[in-house]
Amino acid sequence: MSILKHRETLLVAVIAALLALIASRFPGFVTPRNLAAVFTDTAPLMILALGQMAVILTRCIDLSVAANLALTGMTVALLNTVAPDLPVVVTLVLAIGLGAVMGAVNGILVWKLEIPSIVVTLGTMTIFRGIIFLISDGQWVNAHEMSAGFTGFPRIEILGLPVLAWIAILAIAVMALVMSRTVLGRAIFAAGSNPHAAAYTGIDVGRTQFAAFVISGALAGLTGYLWIARYAVAYVDIAGGFELDVVAACVIGGISIAGGVGTVAGAVLGALFLGVIKNALPVVDVSPFWQLAISGAAILIAVAFNARAGRRQGRVILKSAEQAA
């Protein structure tokens, strides 16, 4: 546990060092106001990373989150053009529900048919994108077609922070509670670290994976509405490739792809790390085209680092022999 703690403090230190480095030349970047803006900008990534964390902890992966986000976003945007006066609460519930249903589709295929999650979510990723095209007919939904209440909600400021940031904070708090204080949270860790042992203790591994996918889907649906409302536009390719950023945030945050190892703080810090880099690039006058390569390099460094940290632990002797093979 001390090593895990060490890992998060290390990540905090890296982010702080990064901020200090930028601040040494561009002090404007670290004003509370700008840091709050960076946090808000990273909110969607953080929310998605929380869901992805739950899935990865159970030894699965969800590559369909970005497509889920886009499909939910497009659906609520189209709904808004038809019924502009729908209360925001209803939209939120609909978005979360729709996302959860898509997550459940992934989950059922993984649970009942035991299809590897990477195959399932690669498939549903393209299927969801295709459905967006079918329902939108390839058209964009633009800002003037959405109602002011719909697009304004994530921007309402409460105590100096927009609702978008507060929702992220709420999601972090809820997930932290679920992971540490509920039966489901325990089951997720158990199913990931040793599925056989989990089965013997009466945990249904498949059902736990299903639950993780539903959580991931619900959070993706929630982000779908927030994303569309924030950018006030919806189209087929929205958030294209964002699933890689989400996985990257988790890997950087120290969540082991082999399952069972990871924390809520790790997922949040991993997302923040990417968010700081993304927001700092234009400030330090580096072309935004560098971002993809930097996040790729960050994934590789993080996963190499994780593997070394994991090896030092020397917990499971047989497994390391297997890895040496």
Partner 1 sequence: MSLADPDMTPVPRQIPDRLGSPAAKLLKSWESLLLLVAVGVFILNCFASPYFLDAWGLSDATFNFTEKAMIAFAMALLIISGEIDLSVASIIALCSTAMGLVMQAGGGTGLLVLTGLGTGLLCGAFNGVLVTRLGLPSIVVTIGTMSLFRGISYIVLGDGAFRGYPEGFAWFGQGYVFWVITVEMVIFTILAIVFGVVLHKTNFGRQVYAVGNNSTAALFSGIRVGRVKMILFLMTGLMSGLAAICLTSRLGSTRPSIAAGMELEVVTMVVLGGVSILGGSGSIPGVVIAAILMGLVTFGLGLLNVPGIVMSIFIGCMLIGVIAVPRLIRMARGKT
Q: In 3-state terms, what secondary structure has residue 160?
A: coil
Nearer to partner 1, 22 or 248 (CB): 248
Question: Binder to partner 1 among 5, 292, 313, 316 (CB under 8 A)?
Answer: 292
- Residue 53 tokens, joined: 């964390």
Binding mask 233-252 for partner 1 (x = CB under 8 A): ---x-------x--xx--x-
Shortest CA distance to 64 belongs to which of 225, 212, 244, 267?
244
The answer to whether the CB of 250 falls within 8 A of the CB of 262 is: yes
133 binds partner 1 (CB under 8 A): yes
What is each CA distance from 302 to 253, 255, 273, 309, in whole angstroms?
Answer: 8, 10, 12, 10
- Binding partner 1 (rule: CB under 8 A), the pick from 36, 37, 115, 161 is 115
Helices in 141-204 by DSSP H: which ranges? 148-152, 163-181, 183-193, 195-200
Q: Least CB distance from residue 303 to partner 1, whole Å?
A: 5
The HSE-up count of residue 152 (CA atoms within 13 Å, CB side) is 8
Asked if 309 and 50 touch (Cβ cutoff 8 Å), the reply is no
Cβ partners under 8 Å of residue 240, min gap 6 = 66, 70
Query: With binding defined as CB under 8 A, does residue 124 bind partner 1?
Result: yes
Among 125, 163, 220, 276, binds partner 1 (CB under 8 A): 125
200 binds partner 1 (CB under 8 A): no
Residue 114 binding partner 1, by CB under 8 A: yes
What is the contact mask toward partner 1 in residues 94 to 113, using x (rule: CB under 8 A)? ---------------x---x
In the complex with partner 1, the residue whose CB is nearer, 60 or 222, is 60
Binding residues for partner 1, rule: CB under 8 A, are 61, 109, 113-116, 118-120, 122-127, 129-131, 133-134, 138, 236, 244, 247-248, 251, 257-258, 287, 289-297, 299-300, 303-304, 307, 321-325
